[in-house]
Structure 1
Amino acid sequence: MTDPSHTTPHHGDRWMLSLPRATLAASALIPAILLGTTGPAVAATNTLSITAVNRSGAKVAVTATVVSLATSQEYRVRTGTKRKLPKGNYAVLASIGSLNTSTTLGGKTVKVSGASKLTIDARHGKLVRLGLSPAVSGLESTVDAEICSNTGGGADSEVQSWGDATRPLYVIPTASKKIAFAAMGTWTDRSGSTDAYATLYRTTGVPSTPSRTFARSKLATMTVDSRRGPAGTNYSDVAVQPTHQGCGSYLYGSLANTDRPTTTKIHLSPGRWDIRGDLSAGAKNGQTWAIGGYTTTRTVAAGKSYFVRYFGAAWGPGFHVPMTYQGRISYPLDDMFTDPAFSGLNGNYGGAAGDKSKATLKFGGKVVKTAYDKGFGQDGPSLEYKVKKAGWYTLTNSAQRYYPEITFPKGMLSTASTVTYRFHAKPNTSVLSPVSAVQQVPAGLNGYNHAKAGSSTNVALRINRHLLWGDVKKGAAPKLKSLTTKASFDGGKTWKTAPVKKIGGVWTAVVKNPGSGAVSLRTRATYTNTGYTEVTVYRAYGIG
């Protein structure tokens, strides 16, 4: 059994931030394209020689991306060499620099038959220029562009580059429909406290004037509330990325990077975008590591307004519930610190690295299985147990934050969590266990996920039951018998019951806050079948 839809980064994964424009972060969301370095047996007479000329008229050495228009097979071809290729038609994509002062992207088609030659001349390149009307001032303006093969197979190859006021970016026009073009403009001061802009311009072929001005009145507005507290780091990046099949999906725009909470209005050209909150932290070896993040995919329309919040309070057990698969109880262990707003459903996904846990499965009061999530290097840890007898099982997973390569920030929230499921299971079945996931969502907190001292906080209790993956039957949802919530103001040593009532149709616990410290939350949903779910989040939100 595999989990093809589970996209949360596991805490064993590490990504190095090495490029100033964070193109590495963009590549984390794009499926890898197999790069062919050799093809089928070819006749010695079928070769391709490529010449590249920069904007100063000098021949330069570059490595071009050569793509078969028939098979989408991709090759790397160095200029000044004869490369043997199968006979056929190809798209040739190249990025040509000129003494670090500019870059020109060029794409052409060529038929390889015998000794074929192709020249890509950057002097034919036209300036890529994206603008806003009315224009904005006081913001850094950049443009990212890529040219792509357009084979129609959905796995387009690309080359890309970027430019700004001091480094112009050019692209060579072509009428060929086998070449596509995309450019993204961004305008920002990266503070997260002022409005930012991102626009996308896409064409089939490359126009003779690769420029476009976007009316600000025709843009959508996305308000991004980026909070602090539970993420394991104070540093986060607000970024956008076009998302669709075809040219442009590799472009990535970082619009803010700060260690403080921000509320940023991002104005976007209409279309489908990934809105990203990416996390980075300083490692103990002096490097900067990407340690996770969350993404929501939104289709935005001109003149409309949208909202997304990252890094809200009460990171706890996620939407996974146990299942019995081909007679085996199965439960993933690495879903214990999830922002309740991001479930892997409806285009929301992601996670922050850094936790470890211990899980036990009991039957008849005895432990029949113990499993561990040891953290780094363990891919997809889970508890697995073959059901021998029908009856009631109790599964408990207790987790704590764990990332020895970085230092967690002082006062971090959501430091530990626990979930317990009591459910009935039978041998030789494939069904989702008759329990629900429970998320606790505090409202009215500030940007640091703190409530005012002595105030009351409404905590929404969200009860969900989703089949996130696996070819099993979902089965009937359990009927809720009771719902109780307790709060602790001393790290879980003592607990006080909080009243639960419906507010606006949502079950809500009303917590009377202390004068300082942090609030831990524990909620139990009991079902009429005598099963239950109990979740605990330690330091769910702060005070003051």
Structure 2
Amino acid sequence: MVRRRSLAFVGVAALVPLVASAVSAQAASGSLAVTTLGRHGAKVSTTVTVVAVPSGQTYSVTSGKRISLPAGRYLAMTDIWEHGTEGLGTDTIGAQVVQVSGSTSVTLDARKGKAVKVSLDTPADVTGPPRISAQVCAATVSNLPSAFSSGGWNYQGSLYAIPNSSKLLQFGYLAQWSGNDSYVAVKNTTGIPAAPGGSFKRSNLATMRFSVRSGTQMARQNDTALQAMPRTHDCTTDLMTEVRDDSAPYSATVHVTPGTWQPRDDLIASNGEDVGGGFPKVRTLKAGQSLTQSFGRAAWSPMHYLPMIGDKSVTFIPDALIGDPDVGVDGADPTKETVVLSKGSTTVKKQTVTNWGTGDAEFSAGIHSVGWYDLTVDAHRYRPGITFPAGMLSSRVTLDWHFKADPDKAMVAPVFMTRFLPTGLNSHNQAAANGTTTVDVSAGRGSQGPDLKFTEVTAKSVRVWSSADGGRTWKAATVKHSGSTWQASVHNPASGVVALRSEVTDAAGDRSVETVYRAYAIG
């Protein structure tokens, strides 16, 4: 049978170790051969990870093959996976500390493996065994042991670990029980215990609810997941559990052991291509605590980058122009935009750029005199090779910044980006026909790097308009200021979609106009 790809070892920020399959004859003063035996005693071919202690130099070798190594101490780690007549076969995770001197041989024997047993007082709707992802890690190299690890996954009853009390090793696992809700437990130990596993109670778990809306993403299929992210990296770091892989909209609830977790989502297009998603902020949960992680809430808009003045130029990075407000810059989609810098009626530069397929797209135009400049951006989502879902929201965003610039003074332009959050929408990002939607509006700006002067700028006024005809006509909304945000009351049409526009000005006359077309739908 075909072995399914494990989701357990997809890293958020994995440290990539130096991998080598051999060393020079001059450096090698020894060799190592690792034999791996299955649960019935027959030889099984596996890939063995060999880690030098304490340098972290890492080698990969097929079991039974001899590799030349400098004399010294090493960790040999592997997952001995065997086919089964049904199901997923068996996995036996093992590691051994080896002193290499001359021709050295060692055997990892799956018959010595002990079943990884976990228990939870599950509700009646959980009927199957837990799915367990487990790995053994080198505990002495790097602050991210999972980069020097070997592991696998299987269901309870088919996953084993060979005990080893060495403090040079860590053993971590993630277990998931599935019913109407999911229940997830993680545990890390020094060494591989003689009785690997653990017992957990639902009353000691925390709860994370996933709310996935539809309409805003480039694809309808949304795969949500959680990754363990302990504050001090250990052998559970990056172990991942799938929350739900389904067409949006949907909701899902996961009960997890207390600790720090990284929510994430991946968007899968109709052709099977992974076309987006991202990593919201890491969440730390205590026992009994409950929170909600949202994905896909309207409206998607620019996330971070502002015009920058320096080296006698105005520069703008056309990135994160249409993104999920609950995910941040990492959740932004690729775009293609026309950027124009002008001074009065004179066009300084006009350029069409895209961040699709490149990480260094940039607009830069030279300026030679102090004065008022206008930078306009007209951005559309852009992803060649896929078909966007019909009726996709936030398909286009425009920016119109008016600011004073001095070619001899480096600074971030004193302008803003607006974020719109329409309240009361349903799971399809739809508002009630002919009703009134309150839109939370925030005007933000952030540092663009340590090399540019960043000044605090206070918004003097915020105005908001809505359009029900694609931007041909606009209707002013009533805006109220409350603390650091504003609330706009938008009167909805009988059908269709609503575009939103804001204008933010400061006391010096700088102006920021932002428009999100198809911001939310009516239904």
Q: TM-score, structure 2 length as denominator?
A: 0.92
Letter in 2 for 1:429: K
8 Å contact kept, 1:55–1:121: yes
Match for residue 130 of structure 1 among 118, 122, 129: 118
CA distance in 1, matches of 2:430, 2:94: 52
User: Which residue does the alignment assign to 1:94?
Assistant: 78
Q: Distance in 2 between matches of 1:30 and 1:235?
A: 26
CA drift of 1:22 comes to 6.1
After superposition, residues 193-272 of structure 1 pair within 5 angstroms as 194-244=180-230, 245-272=233-260
Query: 1:279·1:293 contact (CA, 8 Å) conserved in 2?
Result: no
What's the offset of the Cα at 1:109? 1.0
Distance 1:147 1:509, change over 3 A: same
Is this contact kept in 2: 1:478–1:529, CA < 8 A?
no
Q: Given the superposition, is the C-alpha separation of residues 33 and 371 from structure 1 closer, same or farther in structure 2, using an over 3 Å criterion? A: farther
Could you tell me which residue of structure 2 aligns to residue 35 of structure 1? 19
One-letter code aligned to 2:218: G
SS at match of 2:388: coil
CA separation of 1:398 and 1:20: change in aligned 2, threshold 3 A: farther
CA contact (8 A) 1:281 1:291 kept: no
Q: CA 1:500–1:43 in structure 2 vs 1: closer, same or farther (change >3 Å)?
A: closer
- The SS at the match of 1:217 is helix
Whether 2:159 is the aligned partner of 1:169: answer: yes
CA distance in 1, matches of 2:316, 2:226: 33
The amino acid of 1:154's aligned partner reads N
Is the 8 Å Cα contact of residues 42 and 84 (structure 1) preserved in structure 2?
no
Cα deviation code 1:128-166 (max 9, x no counterpart): 12221245533653111111111242243011211115x
Comparing 427-436 with 140-149, which one deviates more in the overlay?
Answer: 427-436
**One-letter code aligned to 2:469:** D
Distance 1:98 1:235, change over 3 A: same
Match of 2:47 in 1: 63
Partner of 1:414: 394
CA deviations on 1:80-139 (whole Å, 9 max, x unpaired) are 222111121111111111224101111111111111111111111111122212455336
Q: Which whole-Å CA distance do the structure 2 matches of 1:206 and 1:22 have between them?
A: 21
The secondary structure found in structure 2 opposite 1:257 is strand
Shift of 1:170: 0.8
Query: Taking structure 1 as reference, are residues 181 and 231 closer, same or farther at Cα in structure 2, changes over 3 Å only?
Result: same
Q: How much has 1:356 moved relative to structure 2?
A: 1.2
Q: Is residue 150–residue 180 contact of structure 1 (8 Å, CA) maintained in 2?
A: yes
505 and 326 in structure 1: CA distance in 2 versus 1, 3 angstrom threshold: closer
Q: 1:183 aligns with which of 145, 158, 173?
A: 173
Evaluate the alpha carbon distance shift between residue 437 and residue 354 of structure 1 in structure 2; reply closer, same or farther with a 3 A threshold. Answer: closer
Query: Is the 1:372–1:381 contact (alpha carbons within 8 Å) kept by the matching residues of 2?
Result: no
Q: Distance in 2 between matches of 1:85 and 1:428?
A: 59
- Alpha carbons of 1:20 and 1:357: their partners in 2 closer, same or farther (altered >3 Å)? farther
Q: State the Cα distance separating 1:42 from its structure 2 match.
A: 4.2
Separation of aligned partners in 2, 1:130 and 1:373: 53
Deviation at 1:430, TM superposition (A): 3.2
Residue 298 (structure 1) aligned to one of 276, 280, 283: 283
Cα distance in structure 2, aligned partners of 1:332 and 1:138: 49
User: 1:391 Cα deviation (Å)?
Assistant: 2.2
Query: In the alignment, what sits opposite 1:447?
Result: 427
Conserved in 2, the CA contact under 8 Å of 1:195 and 1:267? Answer: yes
* CA apart distance, 1:297: 0.8
Q: What per-residue deviation string (whole Å, max 9, x for no partner) do you get for residues 336-386 of structure 1?
A: 111223334xxxxx2254421111111243222233333532323121234
Q: Deviation of residue 236 (structure 1)?
A: 0.5
Alpha-carbon distance in 2 for matches of 1:292, 1:318: 15
Name the residue aligned to 1:9.
Answer: none
Q: Distance in 2 between matches of 1:435 and 1:375?
A: 22
CA contact (8 A) 2:249 2:427 kept: yes
Distance 1:527 1:25 in 2: 48
Partner AA of 1:230 in structure 2: T
Q: CA deviation at 1:454?
A: 1.1
The alignment partner of 2:389 has SS state of coil
Letter in 2 for 1:87: A
Q: With CA pairs under 8 Å and 6+ residues apart, which has the higher RCO, 1 or 2?
A: 1
Pairwise CA distance, 1:470: 4.4
Length, aligned pairs only:
513
Q: Distance in 2 between matches of 1:482 and 1:352?
A: 28
Secondary structure of 2:10's match?
helix
Q: Which moved more, 1:376-385 or 1:236-245?
A: 376-385
C-alpha distance in 2 between matches for 1:365 and 1:228: 42
The sequence identity of aligned pairs, in percent, is 34
Aligned partner of residue 410 in structure 1, secondary structure: coil
Paired with 1:247 and 1:372, the residues of 2 have a C-alpha distance of 46
Residues 450, 543 of structure 1: 8 Å contact kept: yes
Alpha-carbon distance in 1 for matches of 2:83, 2:101? 34
Shift of 1:489: 0.3
After superposition, the CA RMSD in angstroms is 2.2
Shift of 1:288: 3.8
Deviations 1:364-422 (A, max 9, x none): 43222233333532323121234432222211111112223111112211111111222
Is 1:321 aligned to 2:306, yes or no?
yes
| One-letter identity of the residue aligned with 1:224 | F
Aligned partners of 2:442 and 2:484 also within 8 Å: no
Q: Secondary structure at the match of 1:409?
A: coil
SS of structure 1 residue aligned to 2:235: coil
- What letter matches 1:516 in structure 2? S
Alignment of 1:2-151 (within 5 A): 23=7, 26-27=10-11, 29-39=13-23, 42-43=26-27, 45-100=29-84, 101-134=89-122, 137-138=125-126, 141-151=130-140
Paired amino acid for 2:303: G
- The Cα offsets for residues 173-209 of structure 1, whole Å up to 9 and x where unpaired, read as 11111111110011235xxxx3222211111111111
Contact 2:341–2:349 (Cα < 8 Å) also in 1:
yes
After superposition, residues 261-410 of structure 1 pair within 5 angstroms as 261-283=249-271, 287-344=272-329, 350-374=330-354, 376-410=356-390
Q: Secondary structure at the match of 2:218?
A: coil
The question of whether the paired residues in 2 share the 8 Å contact of 1:454 and 1:512 is answered with: yes
Q: Distance in 1 between matches of 2:473 and 2:225?
A: 42
- Asked if structure 1 preserves the Cα contact closer than 8 Å seen for 2:212 and 2:251, the reply is yes
The 1:454–1:43 alpha-carbon spacing in structure 2 relative to 1, beyond 3 Å, is closer
**Pick aligned residue for 1:474 from 454, 458, 462:** 454
Matching of residue 541 in structure 1 with residue 514 in structure 2: no
Deviation at 1:311, TM superposition (A): 0.6
Q: Which whole-Å CA distance do the structure 2 matches of 1:465 and 1:363 have between them? A: 23
Instruction: Find the aligned partners of 1:352 and 1:320 in 2 and give their Cα distance.
Output: 12
Task: Work out the CA distance in 2 between the residues paired with 1:19 and 1:471.
Answer: 50
Structure 2: how far apart are the matches of 1:375 and 1:117? 52
Asked whether the 8 Å contact 2:339–2:352 carries over to 1, the reply is: yes
State the match for 1:13 in structure 2. Answer: none
Deviations 1:449-502 (A, max 9, x none): 000111111111111121153432212x22322211110001111111111113
Shift in alpha-carbon separation, 1:212–1:293, aligned structure 2, 3 A: same
Deviates more, 1:126-135 or 1:522-531: 126-135
**What amino acid sits opposite 2:403 in the alignment?**
F
Instruction: Give the CA deviation at 1:505.
Output: 6.1
Question: How far does residue 276 in structure 1 lie from its aligned partner after superposition?
Answer: 1.4
The 8 Å contact of residues 282 and 289 in structure 1, kept in 2 or not, is answered as: no
Give the residue type in structure 2 aligned to 1:369.
K
